[in-house]
Amino acid sequence: MTTEPTPTPRSDLPSNDLRSRVQSLRIPEDQKQSGGRGGLWLLILLLLGTNGYTGYRWYQLQGAPKKSDAAEPVGAVSAANNPTDTGASGTSAAGGPASEPVDSPKSQISLESRGYITPAKQILVSPKVSGTLVMLNIEEGKRVTKGEILAEIEQTEYKAELDRQLALLAGAKQRLLELETGSRPEEVSQAEAELSEAQNELAEAERQYKRQVQLSNQSAGANTNLTQAETNYQSQQRKVERAKLALDLMKKGPRVERVEAARAEVRQVQADLDRAQWRIGNCTIRAPISGTILRKNSEEGNIVNPVAFNGSYSVCEMADLSNLEIELKILEADIKKVRVGQRCVVTADAWPDRKYEGRVDRLMPIADRAQGAIPTRVKVRVPADEEGVYLKPEMSAVVTFLNEDAPPAP
């Protein structure tokens, strides 16, 4: 059996008529019987190719996105959606200084990087003495001023120690005063009277001794009486000498060494008293700065002991939310685009319509070897009325670094 050649598509049919083109590809009945499955697969492939070409042309003519529908570049914000849009006057609706819009030409943008907001100074408010918290005036988000009382620690033990040191100091001062003042006139008069009495007794002992010597020379007296009289006479001489020395010492006053020792004792007790007063004063915990309470770490009735916690324990954490920074890590390949003092625009992911002015504050002296980046800090200027309202620690933010030829902020 001979196989007839496959008919070619008719050229007189219109090219845009899909149905006509398909009919022109129909295989005669005798060829269907002779072609078998090979002809069937060829027909399927031709149909698929035709449908694909037609769909592609329809997509090009009808479904291509218009240029007006393209997404705006990263960081661009329209004036209608930006509540801080300055307009021509350069001031916001609130009347404050307006930040620079981010939808500036790409030639003014040097680099964009994502980081996290952090306080420039975050303080752990820790107790300096141990004890039980009897009062707590701490609440997360509360704004406090410097010196405001945050907590009170029980003072009973510290007050008792303070009273004890006050008594010891009073006794040490009196002993020092006694040494510095010296002997009273009455004491000097008493020493003089004792010396006069000793001198009288010496004179009597001398008379008795001379009498016994005379009797001994005349062989009228016993040697025993002479010896006793001589001993008594010498004893009275030493007694007079002691009385004279005692009177001289009383008139000269105490030794300088004793006075200095008494003064040192006073200083020692005074130091112990100062420490007791310091402990009493630190039973009242005050805010070290003006700022906002970030975390509350204690409750009334808790026993605090800074020694047991190696100084890492705190009753709360606080920070000044008007002094914020953005922690960034700039890749080593891009660090040449960043310099200290460079102007930036900061946008928090939570508030994409709010722009804040920033400046590169510092580049850290040590790179992050694992990430191949340089840690960088960007200072953010937060208006006084927005402190702690929009920008909060640990929030993510995008920093747009501007070129030198970018227009200055209004």
Q: Is residue 257 in some structural domain?
A: yes
Question: Is 214 a domain residue?
Answer: yes
pLDDT for res 269: 95
Judge if 264 and 203 occupy the same domain: yes
Residues 385 and 289 in one domain: no
Verify that 182 and 254 share a domain, yes or no. Answer: yes
Which of 243, 271, 299 terminates a domain? The answer is: 271
Shared-domain flag, residues 61 and 141: no
Confidence of residue 83 (pLDDT cuts 50, 70, 90): very low
**What is the pLDDT, as a whole number, of residue 195?**
78
| pLDDT tens sequence across 117-147 | 999 989 999 889 999 999 999 999 999 999 9
* Pair 100, 407: CB distance under 8 Å: yes
Is the same domain home to 142 and 287?
yes
Residue 289 to residue 147: CA distance in whole angstroms:
7
> What pLDDT sits at residue 84?
36
Give domain status of residue 244, yes or no: yes
At 271 the pLDDT is 96
Q: Is the model more confident about 172 or about 253?
A: 172
**pLDDT tier at 293, thresholds 50, 70, 90:** very high
Distance CA 317, CA 296 (A): 7
Q: Write down the mean pLDDT value for the chain.
A: 78
Domain-embedded: residue 63: yes
Sheet of strand 291-296: strand arrangement? 122-125, 316-319, 291-296, 143-144
377/235 same-domain check: no
**Least confident piece of the model among 1-10, 170-179, 284-293:** 1-10
**Is the predicted pLDDT of residue 14 greater than 50, yes or no?**
no
Joined together, the tokens standing for residue 3 give: 């196989």
**Which one is predicted more confidently, 374 or 83?**
374
Of 21 and 269, the structure prediction assigns the larger pLDDT to 269
- What does the pLDDT read at residue 366? 94
Looking at residue 405, what is its pLDDT?
57
156-181 and 256-281 helices, crossing angle to 10°: 160
Q: Which two tokens stand for residue 217?
A: 């020379």
Does position 250 have pLDDT exceeding 80, yes or no?
A: no
The total domain count for the chain is 4
Residue 78 maps to a domain: no
DSSP for 320-367?
Answer: -TTEEEEEEEEETTTGGG--TT-EEEEEETTEEEEEEEEEEEEE-SS-
Is the residue at 305 inside a domain?
Answer: yes
Clarify whether residues 247 and 346 are in a common domain: no
Shared domain for 266 and 173, answered yes or no, is yes
Q: What is the DSSP-derived secondary structure letter of residue 28?
A: P
Q: Is the pLDDT of residue 343 over 70?
A: yes
Q: Above pLDDT 70, what percent of the chain?
A: 74
Average pLDDT over residues 268-293: 94
Residues 352 and 393 in one domain: yes
Same domain, 197 and 266: yes
Window from 165-174, 196-205, 283-292, 320-329 with minimum mean pLDDT: 196-205
Query: For residue 394, what pLDDT is reported?
Result: 93
| Domain membership flag for residue 303 | yes
Q: Which residue stretches of 182-301 are H helix?
A: 185-217, 223-252, 256-281
The whole domain housing 54 covers 1-70
Cβ contact 178:241 at 8 Å: no
Looking at the structure, tell me whether residues 193 and 245 fall in a common domain.
yes
What is the pTM for the complete model shown?
A: 0.56
| Residue 407 included in any domain | no
CATH number of 141's domain: 2.40.50.100
pLDDT > 50? residue 102: no
**317 exposure class (CB count in 10 Å sphere: 0-12, 13-18, 19+):** buried
Domain identity same for 149 and 249: no
- Do residues 329 and 368 lie in contact, with contact meaning Cβ atoms separated by under 8 Å? yes
**Dist CA 257 CA 246 (whole Å):** 18
